[in-house]
Amino acid sequence: MKRSNRLVALTNFFLENPRTHTQFPYFVSQLATTKASISEDMDIIDAVFRSEGIGYLRRTTGAGGGVKFIPACVDEKNKCFVEALRQKLKDPVRILPGGYLYMSDLLGDPKTVREIGRVFASTFSKKNIDVVVTVATKGIPLAYAVASFLNVPVVIVRRDPKVTEGSSVSINYVSGSSRKIQTMVLPKRSLSEGAKVCIIDDFMKAGGTITGMINLLEEFHATVQAIGVLAEADDEEEERVINDYTSLIKISNVDMKKKAIDVHFGNFIQ
Amino acid sequence: MKRSNRLVALTNFFLENPRTHTQFPYFVSQLATTKASISEDMDIIDAVFRSEGIGYLRRTTGAGGGVKFIPACVDEKNKCFVEALRQKLKDPVRILPGGYLYMSDLLGDPKTVREIGRVFASTFSKKNIDVVVTVATKGIPLAYAVASFLNVPVVIVRRDPKVTEGSSVSINYVSGSSRKIQTMVLPKRSLSEGAKVCIIDDFMKAGGTITGMINLLEEFHATVQAIGVLAEADDEEEERVINDYTSLIKISNVDMKKKAIDVHFGNFIQ
């Protein structure tokens, strides 16, 4: 295969297989070329990936040596994307009863969801994550987007057990906003003991749901490595129980009567 | 930018922006090159995309002319993928009470989910689809995968209204398997009148859930252009009410006692 064709095929391969270690002989045989040529191809791809803010190629040498594509956005690109999101969320027409924001249109756009996933995956790039955990249903697309860049599976915590998932572990917890006792379940087969977990959700107020997830994950002896929420809302009546999390957007001063709202950057920018 | 660098940047652009019409002047200015060079780049990319079964570039000339990447797998590649899936699903350890199959591990793998999305998007490539609709919660990741290749939004039908979605339209329907009356809701803001819809779900037995979705969609005067289910199960007690659908996998003769199951190709291969 010619260099120009190889570059297209290799670029596609890396983008479709993030964080996947691939040995050089695989490329040599697939693309019918030499190791030296592949190495030059990778120099070109790595340079473009870096300059375009897509990520980079991590190469290892020696026996079993190969290459891994690490998706990683530059901070500036992430900030631009979140700023665009912030502008969209500022629209007071989004205010819903109870101080919630209508975000289903943004969460229904696969491209926006993918970009949110890219921002979290970049932010959590150095953490050692085995699995992304979310709670049904709004966090699901975000969890898949993050997981696809991290190349790990997704596990979904539910409000009620389903016949299609077999036996489950369940816990009860008190929801911060409604003060009601709620239930969360996780199928036994879905998570291996001691997994290193990243929790992803769309919205956090007092943090009751995420606390519930942490408690449930303790039953599986999982370690929470990272917590990412798209939007957090200041809730003055409640003390935040979760401290170590990353948010992209922060909402405050929701005034239902005046239809006013403040939308800021979350804590993802230090 | 040099050709080799342009090829990497353009390949990334097309893969990230399927079914998006982009005019040539955009590339000319972004990549600091000439229209003739861009045109040659596209010949190379188109040839590799076709030979690797990734899809193709559709170019239009004249005023407003440009290019669109259409993801489209070749039938042979789709068939290989579904065959691998079929082999995994054949494991009798997956059999659950009620003739269901445990599929959460496969549905939890973002790569498998993405490939399923690619197969459906290829199959429905010629249909005129505005939006992908699914029902919470198992179908959600599949719906996003299909939608990302079709470059359309996702709308999620729920079992109960949520405060974060505003006012909703709801219908009641009789579930085929449990004979219970169930409810489905769709927020008013989520779907525009007369939308052309593709329904995606993970599992279909008698088809009661999908019939319910069709009835709910009628309230929005939507037209169902395509229905895709990952797996369908023969249910001898029930007459199938949905006929025009695409399934990747077909399950039959589930024998709980003998722990036996037959897993065939669905009707996606004509």
Q: Do B104 and A52 touch (CB under 8 A)?
A: no
Are B144 and B226 in a shared domain?
yes
H/E run at residue B115: helix B110-123
Length of chain B: 270
What's the pLDDT score for residue B258?
Answer: 85
8 A C-beta contact, residue B118 and residue B73? yes
Of the residues B38, B71, B104, which one is the last residue of a structural domain? B71
How many Cα atoms within 13 Å fall on the side-chain side of residue A5?
13
pLDDT of A163 reads 67
**Residue A97 clears pLDDT 80, i.e. is over it:** no
Query: Which residues on A lie below 8 Å from B16 (Cβ)?
Result: 15
> Residues A126, A194: one domain?
yes
Under 8 Å between Cβ of B256 and B107: no
Q: State how far the Cα of B76 lies from the Cα of A232, in Å rounded to an integer.
A: 46
| A126 and A257 share one domain | yes
- CB < 8 Å from A in window 191-230 of B: 203
**Beta bridge mates, A187:** A168
**What would the two tokens of residue B26 be?**
């955009």
Residues B28, B52, single domain; the answer is: yes
How many other CB atoms are there within 10 angstroms of residue A90's CB atom?
14
Q: Which secondary structure element, helix H or strand E, spans residue B28, and what is its range?
A: helix B24-30
Interface test with B, best of A69, A144, A146 (most B CBs within 10 A): A144
Question: pLDDT grade, residue B176 (50/70/90)?
Answer: low
Whether residue B194 is contained in a domain is answered as: yes
Range with lowest mean pLDDT among A91-100, A130-139, A214-223: A91-100
For the stretch B116-125, pLDDT in tens is 999 999 999 9
Q: Looking at A85-89, A106-110, B171-175, which range is the least confident one?
A: B171-175
**Interface membership of B134 toward A (CB under 8 Å):** no
**Does the pLDDT value for residue B145 go beyond 70?**
yes
What mean pLDDT comes out for the span B187-201? 94
Contacts of A137 in chain B (CB under 8 A): 136-137, 140, 156, 158
In which band, very low, low, confident or very high, does the pLDDT at A176 lie, cut at 50, 70 and 90?
A: low
> Do B49 and A153 count as a contact with CB atoms less than 8 A apart?
no
What's the pLDDT tens digit per position in A240-268? Answer: 778 899 999 999 888 888 888 899 999 98
- Report the residue from B54, B154, B155 with minimal CB separation from A12: B54
Cβ of A44 within 8 Å of Cβ of B8? The answer is: yes
CATH of the domain at B8: 1.10.10.10
For A163, the closest of B7, B97, B110 (CB atoms) is B97
Share of chain A above pLDDT 70, in %: 96
Say yes or no: A185 and A65 in one domain: no
Phi, psi of A64 (to 5 degrees): 75, 10
Domain check: are A155 and A210 in the same one? yes
Same domain (yes/no): A187, A99 = yes
The answer for A 4-23 residues in CB contact with B (under 8 A) is 4-5, 7-9, 11-12, 15-16
Are B38 and B165 in a shared domain? no
Q: Does the pLDDT of residue B193 top 90, yes or no?
A: yes
- B45 vs A: CB within 8 A: yes
Average of pLDDT values for B63-73? Answer: 91
In this prediction, residue B236 carries a pLDDT of 62
Q: Classify residue A94: in a domain, yes or no.
A: yes
Q: Are residues B259 and B171 in the same domain?
A: yes
Crossing angle of helices B35-51 and B3-16, in 10° steps, is: 60
Is residue A247 a part of any domain in this protein?
Answer: yes
CA distance A87 to A249: 11
- Tokens 């699903």 belong to B89
Q: Which chain B residues are Cβ-neighbours of A89 within 8 angstroms?
A: none
Closest CA to B183 of B210, B212, B206: B212
Indicate whether B196 belongs to any domain. Answer: yes
Report the b/e string of A188-226 with b at 16+ CB within 10 A.
eebbeeebebbbbbbbbbbbbbbbbbbebbeebebebbb
Considering only the beta carbons, identify the residue of B105, B136, B187 that sits closest to A104: B187
Contacts of residue B104, defined as CB under 8 A and 6 or more positions apart, other chains included, come to A156, A164, A165, A187, A189, A190
In a domain, A270, yes or no: no
Q: Are strands A196-204 and A131-135 parallel, antiparallel or unpaired?
A: parallel
Q: Is the pLDDT of residue A34 over 70?
A: yes
CA atoms within 13 A on the CB side of A198: 34
Residue contact A102–B165, C-beta within 8 A: yes
Residues of chain A neighbouring B155 (CB-CB closer than 8 A): 108
**Do B253 and B159 lie in a common domain?**
yes
What CATH number corresponds to the domain at position B138? Answer: 3.40.50.2020
Domain count of chain A?
A: 2
Of A61-65, A153-157, B127-131, B197-201, minimum mean pLDDT range: A61-65
Mean pLDDT, chain A, integer: 91
- Check whether residue B44 and residue B169 sit in a common domain: no
Q: Tell me if B270 is assigned to some domain.
A: no
What is the domain extent for residue A60?
Answer: 3-71
Q: Which of A104, A140, A110 is nearest to B191 (CA)?
A: A104
- Whether the pLDDT of residue B135 is over 80: the answer is yes
pLDDT digits (tens, 9 = 90+) for A39-83: 999 999 999 999 999 999 999 988 888 999 999 988 899 999 999
Identify the pLDDT of residue A63.
80
Please report residues of B whose CB lies closer than 8 A to that of A15.
11-12, 15-16
Q: Could you tell me which residues come within 8 angstroms of residue B111 by beta carbon, excluding any fewer than 6 positions away?
A: A148, A151
Select from B258, B257, B155, B263 the least CA-distant residue to B216.
B155
Angstroms from A165 CA to nearest CA on chain B:
6
Segment B195-245, tens digit of pLDDT: 999 999 999 988 889 999 999 999 999 999 999 999 998 766 666 778 899
Tokens encoding A97: 């009863």
**A83 and A47 share one domain:** no
Maximum Cα–Cα distance for chain B, whole Å? 69
Number of C-beta neighbours around residue B72 at 10 A: 20
> With contact defined as beta carbons under 8 Å apart, do B153 and A113 qualify?
no
Where residue A166 falls (left for φ over 0; alpha for ψ -120 to 50; beta otherwise) is left
What tokens does A154 get? 């997704």
Q: Which of B38, B53, B71 is the last residue of a domain?
A: B71
Q: Can you tell me the distance from the alpha carbon of B161 to that of B167, in angstroms, rounded to the nearest whole number?
A: 8
pLDDT for position A238: 63
Which chain A residue has its CA at the smallest distance from B114's CA? A148
User: Which chain A residue is nearest to residue B110, measuring alpha carbons?
Assistant: A148
Please give the pLDDT value at position B74. 86
- Within a domain: B183: yes
Chain A positions in Cβ-Cβ contact with residue B17 (cut-off 8 Å): 111
Alpha helices in chain A (DSSP H): 3-16, 24-30, 35-51, 75-89, 104-107, 110-123, 140-150, 208-218
Contact status of A91 with chain B (Cβ, < 8 Å): no
Give yes or no for residue A208 having a pLDDT over 80: yes
Closest of B180, B137, B142 to residue A161, by C-alpha? B137
pLDDT at B90: 92
Domain boundary among B56, B71, B86: B71
Residue B206: the pLDDT is 83
Tell me, what's the ipTM?
Answer: 0.94
Residue B100: the pLDDT is 77
A37 is a domain residue: yes
Which residues in B lie closer than 8 A to residue A100 (C-beta atoms)? 163-164
